[in-house]
Amino acid sequence: MTVPATRKDLMIVNMGPHHPSMHGVLRLIVTLDGEDVINCEPVLGYLHRGMEKIAENRTIIQYLPYVTRWDYLATMFTEAITVNGPEQLGNIQVPKRASYIRAIMLELSRIASHLLWLGPFMADIGAQTPFFYIFRERELIYDLFEAVTGMRMMHNYFRIGGVAADLPHGWIDKCLDFCNYFLTVVAEYQKLITRNPIFLERVEGVGIIGGEEVINWGLSGPMLRASGIQWDLRKVDHYECYDEFDWEVQWQKEGDSLARYLVRINEMKESIKIIQQALEGIPGGPYENLEVRRFDRTKDSEWNDFEYRFISKKPSPTFELSKQELYVRVEAPKGELGIFLIGDQSIFPWRWKIRPPGFINLQILPQLVKRMKLADIMTILGSIDIIMGEVDR
């Protein structure tokens, strides 16, 4: 067989939707010149399920099971934002105890999401063992969630006005045990990964984005904070009860993949701090104490007050959305998750636009991989932290 002479043409490689390294079904059409990447075009839509069109025909209660399927690793955030919109439209106050429970669940979900980011990120780089370690921790979080909500992953726990049920007996102690255990485990990850010279070679200086560009491309979440911009919606928007806790925004200056890794690891440690403070300060304390206090006193004791409930008032199935528009957002672990909700004085919304953090963060991928080597695509894609469930909806 005659071998053709060396061609100067560029090679087009299809890293197709089925690939163990792709974070879901993402197709990348990569144009290569030898080992250097010239251009990369992401093709999306393989997981498009029409979530926005479905939302126009469902009430909020009917839609809640759908929302956990957008970002299926950090499910509490999707539920939180789905109920935040109608709560603001309907001027519904959330009791303090419910707000604390929500904050605890959200931070646990953030830790779970960052853990499952870390595993595939290390696996893409080549270190397969952290993948198993993170699942060990994630199983503990799943156990906590299952005790409260009944489901390991797709909880359907948040309701308009609070949460669906109060914490079970003994949950707060178990959660505190988890926090103490998790801090030792994070120290283990730091020892294993952060100063590892092979890891640093692969990750330092790869995929650098400057501060101005990050804002122009509309990135959010750890990508923004790793490039020196201290923008965290929990501090900026003052939502839920995050103001009552003492925590810092984690940020780095360099803007490369190592900075994003460090931001996420530090965010996990901050989340543990927030959870510990919330568990200590939850109004009413553990549910077993609250129950006993309610039984002990007379009929109208203070422990039956509004602030000690887990839901303000069970919403009716025909909760009407008034004819207003609203853009609500939360700081999801992947970035800024937002819903633009146009109500229509009926039980169904007129337009439910989901602003997914992964979709917007993915736009910068073609620019970041230019002039990088083929192996760096996986590092950069991993450090952007996308999940196709919310990119495609």
Angle at 26 between CA 20 and CA 28, to 5 degrees: 100
Among 133, 142, 231, 319, binds other proteins (CB under 8 A): 231
Angle at 216 between CA 385 and CA 261, to 5 degrees: 30
> Under the criterion CB under 8 A, does residue 76 sit at the interface with other proteins?
no
> Under the criterion CB under 8 A, does residue 78 sit at the interface with other proteins?
no
> Under the criterion CB under 8 A, does residue 79 sit at the interface with other proteins?
no
Query: Least separation, in Å, of the C-beta of 215 and other proteins?
Result: 5
- Residues in contact with other proteins, total (CB under 8 A)? 45
Which CB atom, from 202 or from 393, has the smaller least distance to other proteins?
A: 393
Name the DSSP letter for residue 81: H
Among 324, 345, 346, 370, binds other proteins (CB under 8 A): 324
CA atoms within 13 A on the CB side of 333: 33
**Cβ proximity of 386 and 23 under 8 Å:** yes
Amino acid at 83: V
Least Cα distance to 40 among 32, 26, 30 occurs for 30
- 3-state SS class at 184: helix
> Under the criterion CB under 8 A, does residue 329 sit at the interface with other proteins?
yes
Q: Give CB contacts under 8 A, 24+ apart, made by 149-152.
A: none
> Under the criterion CB under 8 A, does residue 189 sit at the interface with other proteins?
no
Among 26, 30, 362, 377, binds other proteins (CB under 8 A): 362
**Cβ proximity of 257 and 203 under 8 Å:** yes
**Cβ proximity of 99 and 241 under 8 Å:** yes
> Under the criterion CB under 8 A, does residue 368 sit at the interface with other proteins?
no
Which CB atom, from 97 or from 393, has the smaller least distance to other proteins?
A: 393
> Under the criterion CB under 8 A, does residue 215 sit at the interface with other proteins?
yes
Among 128, 216, 289, 345, binds other proteins (CB under 8 A): 216
> Under the criterion CB under 8 A, does residue 48 sit at the interface with other proteins?
yes
CA atoms within 13 A on the CB side of 348: 9
Spatial distance between the Cα atoms of 17 and 315, rounded to a whole number of angstroms: 42
* Interface region with other proteins, contact rule CB under 8 A, candidates 182-190, 261-269, 346-354, 381-389: 346-354
Q: Distance of CA 293 to CAs 133, 207, 282, 287, Å?
A: 41, 56, 15, 10
> Under the criterion CB under 8 A, does residue 176 sit at the interface with other proteins?
no
Spatial distance between the Cα atoms of 222 and 214, rounded to a whole number of angstroms: 11
Tell me the DSSP string of 309-369: -SBSSPPPTTPPBPS-EEEEEEEETTEEEEEEEE--SBSS-SEEEEE-HHHHHHTTHHHHH
Query: Least separation, in Å, of the C-beta of 42 and other proteins?
Result: 9
> Under the criterion CB under 8 A, does residue 390 sit at the interface with other proteins?
no
> Under the criterion CB under 8 A, does residue 306 sit at the interface with other proteins?
no
Which CB atom, from 109 or from 227, has the smaller least distance to other proteins?
A: 227
Among 232, 267, 270, 336, binds other proteins (CB under 8 A): 336
List the interface residues with other proteins, window 81-100 (CB under 8 A).
84, 87-89, 91-94
> Under the criterion CB under 8 A, does residue 18 sit at the interface with other proteins?
no
Among 37, 64, 355, 387, binds other proteins (CB under 8 A): 355
* Interface region with other proteins, contact rule CB under 8 A, candidates 65-73, 149-157, 254-262, 318-326: 318-326
List residues near other proteins by CB under 8 A: 44-45, 48, 50, 52-53, 84, 87-89, 91-94, 215-219, 229-231, 236, 238-240, 324-327, 329, 336, 338, 340, 342, 350-351, 353, 355, 359-360, 362-363, 392-393
